[in-house]
Amino acid sequence: MKKVALVTGGSRGIGLGIARALAQAGFDLAINGVREESAVEEALSELRGMGADVIYCRGDVSLSESRQQIIDQIRSHFGRLNVLVNNAGVAPKERKDILEATEESFDYVLNTNLKSSYFLSQAAANWMIEQKNNNPEFEGAIINVSSISATAVSVNRGEYCIAKAGMSMATQLFAARLGDYDIPVYEVRPGIIATDMTAKVTEKYDKLIAEGLTVQRRWGLPEDVGKAVAALSVGSFPYSTGQVIMVDGGMNIPRL
């Protein structure tokens, strides 16, 4: 029986890169997004063409009722969940200095990027424990896709940095709590990745990368993140729960 993975925000960008890698690794998939299913049909068809049984779980993960509907839909279709990939995220609608940032923007970003992953992890973890109790051979994992913004300061999008820093702590919390059940929890921390979210700042990062921002002088790609998530999902790092996997081209290496 194939393992099942839920990828939030899995219909484009980093999420689609992750979904492709998981399909190649032999997973069946539940793809979450907020767009109409007709708008993501091309991505779903591509994944099905790779041999995966794919369902689309439309819903806003910042809402409690949507998170429950996603879990219920997976239960109904697959009857199991092995891997949760908390990838869905938004940038501030308008980048503002932290001296001018609004509570509305803070709530929007924190609810989508942090609150959603925290409580979806809670729901998935309880179901994974249930599956583990019913079948000692069950293998599960939770993978949080954060960002170098968990530690790298951007004063014009503080709410995003805080959300990702919170996700980093949530990874350690769930790793510690689920250790008794041998359910590992990981954080994958991408750097500058070419996606819709970074499209508006392409010129800025082209220049910075050329000047040596990253050791590997290129943009990261969604498939770079996907390969890391797939390796964690198939159990290639069984004794590394709570760890951060950097996918940043060496950006985090201190250099003189």
Q: Which of 56, 118, 160, 239 is catalytic?
A: 160
Distance CA(33)–CA(152), nearest Å, equals 27
Distance CA 139, CA 135 (A): 9
DSSP code for 213: S
In angstroms, the first-to-last Cα distance of the chain is 51
Letter for the amino acid at 99? L
Dihedral angle over CA of 18, 24, 25, 31, nearest 10: 40
160 is catalytic: yes
C-alpha 149/C-alpha 93 separation (Å) is 17
Sheet holding 244-247, edge to edge: 54-58, 28-33, 4-7, 83-86, 141-145, 185-190, 244-247
Q: Annotate 227-249 with b (16+ C-beta within 10 A) or e (fewer).
A: bbbbbbbbeebeeebbbbbbbbb
**How far is the C-alpha of 42 from the C-alpha of 87, rounded, in Å?**
20
SS3 151: coil
Q: Beta strands 54-58 and 185-190: pairing type? A: unpaired
- Give catalytic residue positions: 160
